[in-house]
Structure 1
Amino acid sequence: MRNQPSKRTPKTIEYKVGAEQLLLPFLLATSKKSRNAVKGILSRGQVAVNGRVITRHDHPLRSGDTVEILTNEAAKQDSELLGLSILYEDEAIIVIDKEAGVLSMAAKDKKELTAFSELSAYVRKENRGNRVFIVHRLDRETSGVMLFAKSENIKRQLQDSWETVVIERGYTALVEGKVRQESGEIISWLKETRTFKVYSNPTDNGGQKAITRFKRLQGNAQYSLLELKLATGRKNQIRVHMEEIGHPVAGDKKYGAATNPLKRLGLHAARLSIIHPITKELHTFISDPPSSFSRKSK
């Protein structure tokens, strides 16, 4: 699935690829910058190919690909954002990569950092009347891809058709113990208690049906690294399902974890594929999980 974006921000320079080649030589030829300058632009995440930020020098390009270079001025604005970075932006949506420890929104302490407050301040720099609207949430200790709308109409449009707009939601999880199955599917019904804990039932108990598919990427005796795909998007779904199969997400004391090797929740929203609400084109946004996930499960 390839992302086919409109312009990410007015402060990008866009190029079309004419023939197959590697990214670094293409940038050297088109940007007229020195080799060191181009490498710096790549390492700072200022280059996107078909809407996905690329840092690899040897990334292969195909004819028809769109390469966008974020200007130094715009990159400086992005770098000033705390707890998040912008993966994609256009007239209708903003997609971010949220760090663990940052609330999505609605902090009790109005001064506390949230993804919503940071993005709100960011869009108002261009126009004081600009606003952002949260489309879906990530838990405070979950990092990764998160989607915002730039108008209430776009927000409603995305939320009302969420099941058809979202083509794929993929996560990476570090879970406790050695997962024996190479892959599997977990189906149950989820209900939330008055104390805001979600519990699972194997048969329909009036709760919400939840489906999680998993694939083991690697593992050792202490931890396993899983690729997870959500067929449904219920509150705390992955965390509850991992506890159910006896392999709670590392660091998730609420749902059965006994260890916290990462000093955070071992859950990362790695992939989001959506149909764009305006262009109706398929967009795929990817955030690589922290390297610590892989190191702990080798």
Structure 2
Amino acid sequence: MSGEVVRVAILGCGAIGSLYAAHLTRASGVEVWAVDPWPEHMQAIREHGLKVTGLADFTAPVQTLTDAAGLPPCDFGIVATKAQHTHAAMTGARHALQDAAVVSVQNGVGNEEVIAGLVPRVIRGTIVTAGAVTAPGVVRYDAPGDTWIGPFEPSPARAGEIALLAEKLNQGGLKTHAVDDARGPQWTKVVFNAATSPLSALTGLTVGAVCTDPALRREVERLIDEAERVCARAGIPLTRDPRHAVEEAVREAYAHKPSMLQDVLARRTTEIDVLNGGVAAEGRRHGVPTPAHDAMVALVRGLETSWQHG
């Protein structure tokens, strides 16, 4: 470690990255550096601190950079970018993370493989926390949720590193579980997101509206069934029934617009390739057909292509 200080780099300072950055400053002996290309956000944090509103109310001192070239050597990296920016973010910060344990807290599957191509020790991570950046330097904490971290099997971080990161996150106020196999929590989230987010993105409906429309709910169920067959063949035990997550979303987050819908509304590239595309890829590896997930990938990609002609 960096003397008595644990230095953590946060790559990507959107809602999740900002919440992680802010809470980690509350842990003892942690120095947090945030890297994000949004200059107004970084400047506001540098000058006034990172303000957390909503379920918490505090301001956190965070070091900020718009270019990772200035990042000092770190003990941990937390990748919180969109999946499509993983490689670029890691490439820029690689010099500072060569002796770090690096965890992905991103959506979907496949991010750890990208990270492992650039640094030697990787942590598989999953989160269900929610929030939104409401202004430069301000993040709203909307919904608490647990974090699960464990070794990425082909390029694992050391057990002591995983335990230390979990300890610091818990000290900071983000409930975190260090587990031996983090695939179950990761895929439980992937199955739910892949069953609801593309339908929301394609229709413009909130998660609750998608899940309570009879015709769309049948598609949700079909997507869940396919993903469950993939997980069963791959030997990945889900930590809860995805249908329970659907009912919970209807009760507690009916009006929520998932990030894929937000991307579509802003005409940004979505994360369809690491959600439904990730399920389909795992299905191909294990000989499980995934026509419903293949259809979601084709439809969302087609929608993205339409923006180039309109």
- Rg larger in structure: 1
Q: Mark yes or no: TM-score above 0.5.
A: no
Class of the TM-score when normalised by the shorter of the 2 chains? 0.3 to 0.5
- For CA contacts below 8 A with separation 6 or more, give which structure has more relative contact order: 1
Structure number with the higher helix fraction is 2
